[in-house]
Amino acid sequence: MDFFLVITTLTVLAASILFDWWYFLRLRSKRLPPGPSPWPIVGALPHLMRKKGGVTKLSQSLQAKYGKILTVWVGKKPMIFISDPELTYDALVKQGAYFSNRVKNSTIGLTTSGWRTLSTSEGPWTIALRKNIMTHMLGPARLKAFKPLRDRAYEGIVNDVKSVAAASENGVAQVNCRSVAYGRVARFVLVLTFGVELEDDLVQEIVHCLGERFRLAFKFSLGDYISFWKIFEVKHRQTLKHLQTRHIQLFAPLMQRLRGLQGDEGVIGGNYCETLFQLEKEFPEKINDSVITSLCAEFLNAALHTTTLAIDSTMALLCEHPEVNEKLYREIEAVVGKRAVDESDLPQLPYLSAVVREALRVRTTAITTLPHATSELRKLGGYEIPTDAVVVFVLESFHLDPTHWSDPSVFKPERFLENDLDVLGSKNFSFLPFSAGRRVCPGIQLAMFEISVVVARLVQNFEWEKVPNVKNTEIGTVFRARPRSVELLHAELSFG
């Protein structure tokens, strides 16, 4: 009896391995972009285990062998990586109507109230959410209305560094620029989200939870692709559930307060929460407090992490290239003088714009787009892209491609004075830091204002150098900042 059971089990196992092998290797793989041969059941798992840095790094290392569109099977799911600007244009623009869906894996579902946030949903709900954020939060009129809040954040960042310098024995600040920017930008986006200034303790706790959410929510989770792997990820999933509950606990009183205070003088009108309460009237079946919590967390994290990372990378590059730093300082001095750089100065500061774009290229902030999916089977580059495929555009690879850029890994802002490529990919897609098409980042203008003005003001006010032999933290680089002039220091400190 036992012997019969063993034979039956082994036969079933062998048959399913054989079926898997035949189905993936022979049938499906033939029409998909090329890639490493998948193993039955686990796909490219053995390749993944050999390569440090996850599936994106694996795809980049496979490019030389398989080309700029390739498939990596993770379990039974094909992940298609595209590193070619022309194919990306085809997918995101020409076939944009079909390539704009999102991937619905169970991990992402946990923090997005069942894929109902802006970055995870699709169809009419996404259109309504995008329209809301573009018109009511990030469009030109709203950006203008919220400018005084941004000005306060810019001033706060400079003053924070100055205070550290003033308190130090030698008058030189040793600071982690990203944490300083993070703290001030967090306060600004929290006001934008909830319309009120929050107490310091609450800001600290929200920022901590958002950081955890960002770190864990979009972490590659093998269990989403290979079901049995979920048993190794129970703790990860529980932590995500707890985080969502904690966010609801933190945000619920703010939402309640806001519902009671609408129209109150103490509240900055047109905040993100208020706009979502309006949507609640139109889409009562789609939205509830958990969805609003997820949407607010998504907005806060999208606005916080990328922008502060870009500021950190730009400052690090300026420290590594003192000649660029000096040229930038001279431009600011000539155009703006001692007055603090303002957003309205940006069109007159072409070198600053070139520095920021070159930093976004050489240290690409968003290495890939968020995962896309197709709404129907589509052809791309002569291959088939099925609806169950995860489609990822590897923006970093465009930016470092020697066929599009000479000395691609060298930081040379001058190239952006010559080529005049914008961040929208209007001329070509070899530079595309914010993606493109229907899912293009809606925060481009806000991000460009923040990165440009913060970098300009930091350069205007301090001489910067990286601190040697100091381990940089996960959050950012440790810099030494020497205030440029005592008069400027006193003038601004008395202001703040």
Chain residues that interact with ligand HEM, rule: CB under 6 A: 118-119, 130, 299, 302-303, 306-307, 310, 365-366, 369-370, 433-435, 439, 441-443, 446-447
Q: How far is CA 280 from CA 124, 244, 277, in A?
A: 14, 20, 5
Tokens representing 207 are: 């920022």
Minimum CB–partner distance for residue 372 and ligand HEM (Å): 6
Minimum CB–partner distance for residue 299 and ligand HEM (Å): 5
Whether 201 and 51 have beta carbons less than 8 Å apart is answered as no
With respect to ligand HEM, which residue has the nearer C-beta, 390 or 441? 441
Minimum CB–partner distance for residue 142 and ligand HEM (Å): 12
Tell me the CA end-to-end span of the chain in Å, nearest whole number.
Answer: 84
Contacts of 308 (CB under 8 A, 6+ apart): 178, 181, 182, 185, 476
Q: How far apart are CA 44 and CA 37, in angstroms?
A: 7
Q: How far apart are CA 363 and CA 317, in angstroms?
A: 9
Q: How far apart are CA 290 and CA 320, in angstroms?
A: 45
With respect to ligand HEM, which residue has the nearer C-beta, 222 or 370? 370
Minimum CB–partner distance for residue 452 and ligand HEM (Å): 11
DSSP state of 344: G
Coil, strand or helix: which one is 309?
Answer: helix
With respect to ligand HEM, which residue has the nearer C-beta, 293 or 306? 306
Minimum CB–partner distance for residue 363 and ligand HEM (Å): 11
Tokens representing 127 are: 């259109």
- Which of 371, 287, 297 has the alpha carbon at shortest distance from 114? 287
Minimum CB–partner distance for residue 347 and ligand HEM (Å): 19
Minimum CB–partner distance for residue 475 and ligand HEM (Å): 16
- For 263, phi then psi, to 5°, come to 85, -5
With respect to ligand HEM, which residue has the nearer C-beta, 130 or 230? 130
Neighbours of 415 (CB within 10 A): 18
441 assigned ligand-binding residue: yes
- For 283, phi then psi, to 5°, come to -125, 60
Q: CA 51 from chain center: how many Å?
A: 23
Q: How far apart are CA 181 and CA 197, in angstroms?
A: 17
Minimum CB–partner distance for residue 307 and ligand HEM (Å): 5
Ramachandran region, residue 11 (left: φ > 0; alpha: ψ -120 to 50; beta: rest): alpha
CB-based closest residue to ligand HEM: 443
With respect to ligand HEM, which residue has the nearer C-beta, 226 or 294? 294
Contacts of 478 (CB under 8 A, 6+ apart): 174, 175, 176, 466, 467, 470, 472
Minimum CB–partner distance for residue 401 and ligand HEM (Å): 17
Contacts of 114 (CB under 8 A, 6+ apart): none
With respect to ligand HEM, which residue has the nearer C-beta, 318 or 447? 447
Q: CA 289 from chain center: how many Å?
A: 24
With respect to ligand HEM, which residue has the nearer C-beta, 124 or 322? 124
CA atoms within 13 A on the CB side of 259: 12
Q: How far apart are CA 216 and CA 219, in angstroms?
A: 5
Minimum CB–partner distance for residue 88 and ligand HEM (Å): 10
With respect to ligand HEM, which residue has the nearer C-beta, 80 or 226? 80
With respect to ligand HEM, which residue has the nearer C-beta, 45 or 391? 391
Whether 122 and 443 have beta carbons less than 8 Å apart is answered as no
Q: How far apart are CA 210 and CA 293, in angstroms?
A: 11
With respect to ligand HEM, which residue has the nearer C-beta, 119 or 290? 119
> Residues annotated as binding site?
441
> Residues annotated as binding site for heme?
441
